[in-house]
Amino acid sequence: MDKRFTDIIELIKQSRSNAIRKVNEELIDLYWNIGGYISKKVELSEWGQSVVKELAQFIQTNEPDLKGFSDKNLWRMKQFYETYKEFPKVSTLLREISWSHNLAIFSRCKSIEEQEFYMKLTKHENYSFRELDRQISSSLFERTMIGNSKLSTVLRDTNTNVVNTFKDSYVFDFLNLPETFNESDLQKGLIEQMKNFILELGRDFLFISEEYKVQVGNSDFYIDLLFYHRGLQCLVAFELKADKFKPEHLGQLNFYLEALDRDVKRQNENPSIGVLLCKDKDSEVVEYALSRSLSPTMVSEYKTQLPDKKILQQKLHELFNNRL
């Protein structure tokens, strides 16, 4: 890069980071204020859970471009406010990390000391959501307290770019922008090609979304590809795994299907279907995940109209061989 212009590049990057931080701060302020409003209404017995659901439906109906205001997320805002309203010392920290980071911390950490620890860690280390989740799962707080030790300098060597830290789906929803993050460019490319292939298989498949978000409790999960099948009148979730088949992959997919049937499926639609696609260096595995409530006749009907496993296996083989 021409050294004469590096200062300009740095100015651009700094301004971009500042803009992202400011948007995130506004989003957290908004969620805090909404949470406080709902909390006070509930405390005064003016609102119950049904009213919050009505509010979510009202927002969706009247302002369909506004995203991130499902009844589950509205209740999360209430929990967020109630968790920290008595602890003003963390007020600034809350606004310096993303909503997804905040969700992970206040839903998984038991004490204000532990919550503050992970807030500071996320801020100072520019942790991505996945890295924060990994550190909480590894009990870093407990290990640090027991050892009475300072954080290893190794952690500081794994910093991510600040832009990636705030690449939160809630920020993109808030600005009404398309999400641009994926686990990896390879995964993104494979998912895109598989989406196109499924659409080519027949007109019955209607594409809904990539990385479709489902909410369970205080956690968000993302389905690789979600379609609607007109013939079967049901949602069809596709999960692509770039590794060897494991039984827990099917368990995860069934977990997604339960969330879809509970929160997304309409009353006139049939139970959702899952299609698991696994590819490692030696084999391609395709498995269907079907609801246990289905009758043998319905199971047979589903399998008749779903893509043949052998065709999907062959496509997986082609996709991966073309990428390697």
Q: Note the Cα 8 to chain centre separation in Å.
A: 35
Strand locations in the chain (E): 205-216, 219-229, 234-241, 273-279, 284-289
pLDDT at 159: 42
Residue 100 and residue 73 in contact, taking contact as beta carbons nearer than 8 Å: no
Structure tokens at 264: 């997304």
Angle between helices 99-108 and 6-43 (to 10 degrees): 50
pLDDT at 320: 66
Nearest by Cα to 210 from 231, 186, 180: 180
pLDDT at 171: 67
Nearest by Cα to 216 from 262, 265, 270: 262
Per-10-residue mean pLDDT, the chain, length 324: 77 82 90 94 82 90 87 92 93 91 92 93 85 86 72 43 58 61 54 82 84 83 91 91 83 91 91 87 81 80 84 80 54
Cα–Cα distance, 119 to 113 (Å, whole number): 10
Annotate 195-215 with DSSP letters as a single string. Answer: HHHHHHH-TTEEEEEEEEEEE
pLDDT at 220: 83
Cα–Cα distance, 120 to 125 (Å, whole number): 8
Characterize the bridge pairing of strands 273-279 and 234-241.
parallel
pLDDT at 147: 64
pLDDT at 186: 52
Beta bridge partners of 226: 209, 237
Structure tokens at 57: 């439906």
- CA distances (Å), 290 to each of 251, 276, 300, in order? 11, 11, 11
Structure tokens at 11: 């100015």
Cα–Cα distance, 218 to 103 (Å, whole number): 6
Annotate 56-110 with DSSP letters as a single string. Answer: HHHHHHH-TT--S--HHHHHHHHHHHHHHTT-GGGHHHHTTS-HHHHHHHHHH--
Cα–Cα distance, 121 to 132 (Å, whole number): 8
- Length of the chain counted residue by residue: 324
pLDDT at 307: 84
What is the three-class DSSP state of 150? coil
pLDDT at 1: 55
pLDDT at 55: 92
Residue 168 and residue 129 in contact, taking contact as beta carbons nearer than 8 Å: yes
Residue 269 and residue 233 in contact, taking contact as beta carbons nearer than 8 Å: yes
Q: Note the Cα 196 to chain centre separation in Å.
A: 22
Amino acid at 16: R
pLDDT at 26: 92
